[in-house]
Amino acid sequence: MTYPLTEYGFSRADVGLHNWRERPWNAWAFERVGELVPAAQVIGAPSTALPRAIDAGLLDQPFGPSRPGESLAEYLEISQTDHLLLSRNGRIIAEWHAPRAQAARPHLIFSVTKSVTALLLGVLEDNGALDVSRAMADYIPETAQGAFGDATVRDLLDMRVSLDFREDYLNRDGDYARYRRAMLWNPREDGDRQETLAQMLFTACKGAGPHGGPFHYQSPNSDVLGFLVERVSGKSYADLLSEVFWQPLGCDHGLMTVDAAGNPRGAGGLCARGEDLMRLGQLILDGGAVGGRQLISERWLADIAENGDEAAWNSGNYHDWIPGGRYRSQWYMLPRPSRAVMAIGIHGQWLCADPASGAVIVKLSSQAFPQDDTFDNANLILMERLLGIAGRGG
């Protein structure tokens, strides 16, 4: 039995693990991940909608990275955006949704999840349950058999682990394909090994150099950090996220994808509504407090904004994308003196919070390709321009 998805141009039976991250099926699937991949519920405590003071002219402003004279609204459509929200001082001043997108549904945010995972670890460090200078094997002894055991938690947080792993999103027969199968995001075929995400990553091999070297973006770091969240807290990732952020912030429900053993995808499995990511971004601007309650320390947030090793970044594999940038605790930074922090995921997911302009930006998308140089560069320009608009007050 199947049913037509008329607005998308295909039927439900057309979507499966073999194609759900590809266009056009991803426009539907990214808001319905729980139908395709096992997922734990992140229980929220829905509150009223965020306040709005919409500036109707913002979407008509020229943007133009794709073609001269192109408006912001035209670019959002061209770049396969599902939702865009821009706030200034806690009030949404611009909002755009694709015609078939549903803002009430949690949207897969891919590697924006990494930044959320690090915030959870910040809470655990604030509570004295974690010391990020210690080795991973001190907390998860099983990691001693592979690359992660003698790396510090800080090495993982800053993507400075020596790991023999190739981050190739379109790979169909190597490390990344095996990784996708272990997390249950890709179908298994005859002859494929049966393994969980933890079984694969705990035995991963170390790279040629020492830990603590150049920035090297590799998602397994963040999945191991997701395991650490659960090991240190004694709670599931989804339950801890609900307890420390989602319910106090008044967020709606969310989802966290899990593997066959219930391991969370701390690197990319969180599904969240755009407004709820706005709440999280505003929490960062408000110094980690909401309603008089300190959810995460100002110290942890200041460390993200102020630190990050430029030398490690400049010798790393993303240095030509953000020249002079930094990376700290799973967040990206623009060159100094900017204190804006950015969480970024493949297929066009963005969360940006900037204390200078008081702006928070959320962009959720279903881009055809995981990485697209044209859109990746244009989206970075978009973030900087929107921060400038917010900073000018219009």
Which residue numbers are catalytic? 111
SS in 3 state form for 150-204? CCEHHHHHCCCCCCCCCCCCCCCCCHHHHHHHHCCCCCCCCCCCCCCHHHHHHCC
Strands of the 254-257 sheet, one edge to the other: 39-42, 254-257, 270-272, 107-108
Question: Residues 293, 266: contact at Cβ < 8 Å?
Answer: no
Distance, CA of 217 to CA of 109 (rounded, Å):
17
CB 60 within 8 A of CB 72: yes
For 107, the token pair is 């949207």
3-state secondary structure of 256: strand
Instruction: Name which of 114, 144, 126, 155 is nearest 341 in CA terms.
Output: 114
